[in-house]
Structure 1
Amino acid sequence: MTATAKVHNTSSTVVLDGGGRVTLSGAGRRRILYMNTCDEELTWTTSHCNDQETPRLTVQNLVFAEGNSTGETVEGGGGGAIFARGGRLKVVSSRFTGNRCDGTGPDLGGAAIRALDQSGDRPVYVVNSTFTGGRCSNGAALSSIQVSWTVLNSVFSGNSAVGRGANPARGGTPGGGSGGAIYVDGNDFTLSLDGTIVKDNKAREGGGAIFFVSNDRSGTLKIRRSTLARNPSAGFETAGLPGVFYLGRGTPSTSGSTLK
């Protein structure tokens, strides 16, 4: 990619299908794909841009490689491969490898995907996809604020949250370092994993696999038919949940799964 591809807000349905033959590369220099219903440069089409129903963006059968959003400041940055605010995002049968975002920051993340404000608070779907070699302050694969996720039959491996100081940042630190694979924050949202493998990811602070914080403790985490293994948390994690730091409603729901 010689420039970041941008989805204009006048679009209704956008499907990017690589047919299993296309790799989009940011060459380690730029973000690959950007959608933001609150960005007036992409045409502001409603007075409620944060809950706009469209565009509905689907990416499928693609490889996203070496995207890099380091230095991007719009909406707080993040999203080395894909940044999506508003509308709807779905990811199907795609591979994300070697993506990057800023290495410090208490609430910045998503080396592969950063998502904000999905329409109707419906979840981002990630299906049959793979995330490897991501590196970011937090959430070295997926990161969001106040967004739900449904992750099905996917693999997260070898991703690293490299920030330092957690969130809120400890005194004298820049903050970050949580959610080796997944970092989610907000109030009432859900994260559901089904048939998914999360292995060999790491966090410099909390949640080598998953960092989940529901500020008002209304959010829920569900893990079904999944394996979480060898996801070290160098700083902290929740007792009895290897690789996971969880603050939400009750305890996470786990069934047919292995956490070790």
Structure 2
Amino acid sequence: MKSLVVLLALGVATATLPACGRPDDPGAGRPVAATAAVPSAVPSNGTAPSGSPPARVGFGGPGRTASPKPADAVPRAGNPHGGAAVPAQARAVDTSRPTRTVGNGTPAGCTSAAVVRAVAAGGIITFDCGPDPVTITMTATAKVVNRVGGRVVLDGGGKVTLSGGGSRRILYLNTCDGAQNWTTSHCQNQDHPTLVVQNLTFRDGNSTGERAEGGGGGAIFVRGGRFRVVNSRFVDNRCDRTGPDLGGAALRVLSQYDNQPVYVVNSTFTGGICANGAALSSIGVSWTVLNSVFRNNRAVGSGANPARGGTPGGGSGGAIYCDGNAFTVRIAGTIIEDNRANEGGGAIFFVSNDRTGTMRIEGSTLRRNPSAGFETKGLPGIFFLGARAPTLTTSHLT
């Protein structure tokens, strides 16, 4: 028991997150409304535990939970005209030999309970729900158990929608959550598990009221390990509407291993609503976003960060909200349009508190992303504080 107490204390001590950026930081000057023209372009290795659970199929079955409803044909995710090269480490996982399968060939076998059990067991997970698209409404959040091994992969085959029903978060990984088993003494910086979601739709997730780790992550919350998203869609997800630093209606990510980037590839984010970062939100995390689309997401908080007197705070990063110290953001082959922030950065809010963070935008289009409060002069839709001005290459900002 004594060793457990010591381990818990160590985790708490090392899990402190970076301070939040301040839009009117005196070191950088107050933010200004951007009406200027678009600027011209300017130029370890840990070892994951072995031994994933043995292969198993047929996690579905009658009488578990309500059967999923048929879904409309699922549109293609991402920007088909993106053109950004996708590195090997960012591609979809080969799931031709799954560890386990949700379902038994019919929609009735594809239940919330089956998804929860499969995610807890880990490995490569596929779905067998019949020939037509299906929506599985989750009656509980699927949670990764950290001791399952090195990798948890969910592949919907382009036909499966996981829905939070407007009332719950859909998927959760947290290497610092003792309830999901601590596997190292440095939970905030370990290389496992790796979580990959691919060929899936996440709809109507809602983390409103979740307070652990600061909340956020209406569809997916991740802390620790490694995480990537490939060929997936995020539709109408929600998190709390107020809070100075809370965010991520679709994705909230903290503490990635050795600050390696979260990859978001060929994916689409629409209709998200949250205090900040109505698609993506993070603290101290790097991102590489390739050939993706962000459309009609809204940061609806009020008062920015830190919150102005008499306000609850929030309202920045209509699509993307990034805060912390040393981190990077690369956006390539991506469309970010028609998003909105009540405060700063209708498209992107980027604050590196120690001014070491950098951002690159390549072959991308950012348009019609109003910032109702403030943004960086010459960068429509963006509020940026970092090591130097963002690098823009063959991109269009209007």
TM-score (norm 2): 0.65
Distance 1:134 1:191 in 2: 20
Matched, 1:29 2:158: no
Give the CA deviation at 1:52: 1.3
Matched, 1:182 2:320: yes
Aligned to 2:144: 7
Which of 203, 206, 227 is 1:65 aligned to? 203
- Other structure's SS at 2:241 match: coil
Tell me: higher relative CO, structure 1 or 2? Use CA pairs within 8 A at least 6 residues apart.
2
- Other structure's SS at 2:147 match: coil
Distance 1:208 1:120 in 2: 29
Matched, 1:218 2:367: no
Matched, 1:82 2:227: no
Which protein is richer in helix relative to its size? 2
Which protein is richer in strand relative to its size? 1
Matched, 1:159 2:300: no
Aligned runs of 1:65-214 on 2, under 5 Å? 65-214=203-352
Distance 2:393 2:359 in 1: 12
Larger Rg: 2
Distance 1:250 1:110 in 2: 26
Give the CA deviation at 1:77: 0.2
Distance 1:228 1:253 in 2: 14
Give the CA deviation at 1:250: 1.1
Name the % identity: 72
Distance 2:273 2:161 in 1: 19
Aligned to 1:238: 376
Q: How many residues align?
A: 260
Give the CA deviation at 1:259: 0.2
Instruction: Give the ranges of 4+ consecutive aligned residues of structure 1 lying more than 6 Å apart after TM superposition.
Output: none
Distance 2:168 2:174 in 1: 17
CA offsets 1:129-172 (integer angstroms, 9 cap, x no match): 00000000000000000000000000000000000000000000
RMSD value over aligned CA atoms?
A: 0.4
**What amino acid is the match of 1:247?**
L
Unpaired runs of 5+ residues, structure 2, are 1-137
Distance 1:44 1:187 in 2: 26
Distance 2:329 2:317 in 1: 13
